[in-house]
Amino acid sequence: MSPLMMLISVLAFAIAGYVIARKRAVGMAGGDSRKLASLPGFYGQNAAYAALIPGFAVFLAGSILTRISLKNDMFGLWADLVTRLPNLVPTLAVLAAGAGLAHAIYRTRPEFRARVAAESWVMILLIAAASVAILTTVAIVFSMLFETVNFFGQYTWTEFLFGTTWAPDFRGNSALGILPLLWGTLYISVIALLFAVPVGLFAAIYLSEYAGPKLRAVAKPMIEILAGIPTIVYGLFALITVGPMIRDWLALPMGLGSSGSSVLTAGLVMGVMLIPFVSSLSDDIINAVPQAMRDGSLGLGATKSETIRHVVIPAALPGIVGAVLLATSRAIGETMIVVLGAGAAAARLNQGLGEMVNPFEAMTTVTVKIVSQLTGDTDFAAPETLVAFALGLTLFTMTLGLNVAALIIVRKYREQYE
């Protein structure tokens, strides 16, 4: 039995189930559907679901199990079985569908509450869908955890966490300290936030408190467009426009560097990317501050800007802090802009402060190194490859912390004004 045959059979079972169960119910009620506990259609639906859902569930589970067992030499017994009987899984699926169907038809009696039964099948589907979100998180954690444990089997974790040199070498003897990468990540993020937070916040304030309807109608969508532009576009912008501009107009005249990719390039472009993020979050938050509070201040003879600075911003502060945390999380997880704009050379932490803080130097980040260690020819036994999973786990942990903190702060803030 091939998968296609299986598909056809299960569908046929479902249609047959619908027709048979419906007929049977109406027949048992002597043709008077008012004597049934549910509408006749529900008896049919229940039988159709009873064939479809177990059939596909068995097929999906069986296929995944087969793939995993063949690829990873796990569940040897199962692997043997499916190699000898290649059509085992589709057959099992059809059997499951048949069994479900038979049971549903057997249960079809006038007093059977078919609507409740049919709806509980739907509920199973809904719950399964909702658990995909949980499974994703679990999969993220496990995908990185296993390889990270492998990595720490080959490389000491203290060296990784506190090492000040990043110099991977596939011939061995790599120095894989995360600190230079973290420094690059944080430095670029700080520049991005120093640019994006004031600009985004002021833009939000101006648009919500000052701008007339005409300006708002033009400026707001334009800033929102920035949010819809994919990061690869920003990356290319950094690579071919901003990078050379900063090099030729700033770095070379000042004698501070000659690199097209630099911390400042990546930071500024990332800042542009974050403007709409900060401004739309701040906009929501500023609008949540009750008008009565503004009136109170204006009624005392405060100017608009005094009202904003002394009343609106302090009232909105927790929300704004939450927005900045979310923006930070975005910044440290951003990949394409830094891949194309920041360069591949890790910061050299032991070469003196001057080089470390020169914004015109190329400097790499955690995300750039995840990409470079996992693309091209990779050997999943070498620590130089596995380190990417440890970097990923570090990144995930950092953003998780920021996201959850931001969520809690923003949620508390909203409750306060509801």
Interface map 2-41 toward other proteins (x if CB under 8 A): ----------------------------------------
Give ∠ CA 267-273-278 in degrees, rounded to 5. Answer: 105
Nearer to other proteins, 171 or 214 (CB): 214
Task: Tell me which stretch binds other proteins (CB under 8 A): 14-22, 96-104, 119-127, 157-165.
Answer: 119-127
Contact between 64 and 138 (Cβ < 8 Å): no
β-pair partners for 175? 167
Rule CB under 8 A: choose which of 30, 32, 173, 222 binds other proteins: 222
**Structure tokens that stand for 39 in this block:** 């509408």
Nearer to other proteins, 53 or 358 (CB): 53
Does 202 help bind other proteins (rule: CB under 8 A)? yes
Nearer to other proteins, 96 or 289 (CB): 289
Restricted to residues 287-326, the positions that interact with other proteins (CB under 8 A) are 290, 292-306, 308-311, 314-315, 326
The minimum distance between CB 384 and other proteins, in angstroms, equals 15
Contact between 219 and 275 (Cβ < 8 Å): no
Looking at residue 184, its amino acid is: G
Contacts of 241 (CB under 8 A, 6+ apart): none
Restricted to residues 348-407, the positions that interact with other proteins (CB under 8 A) are 367, 370-371, 374-375, 380, 388-389, 392, 395-396, 399-400, 403-404, 407
The minimum distance between CB 259 and other proteins, in angstroms, equals 16
The minimum distance between CB 271 and other proteins, in angstroms, equals 9
Rule CB under 8 A: choose which of 45, 108, 231, 358 binds other proteins: 231
The minimum distance between CB 44 and other proteins, in angstroms, equals 16
**How far, in Å, CA of 341 to CA of 356, rounded?**
17
Nearer to other proteins, 144 or 188 (CB): 144
Rule CB under 8 A: choose which of 230, 249, 252, 357 binds other proteins: 230
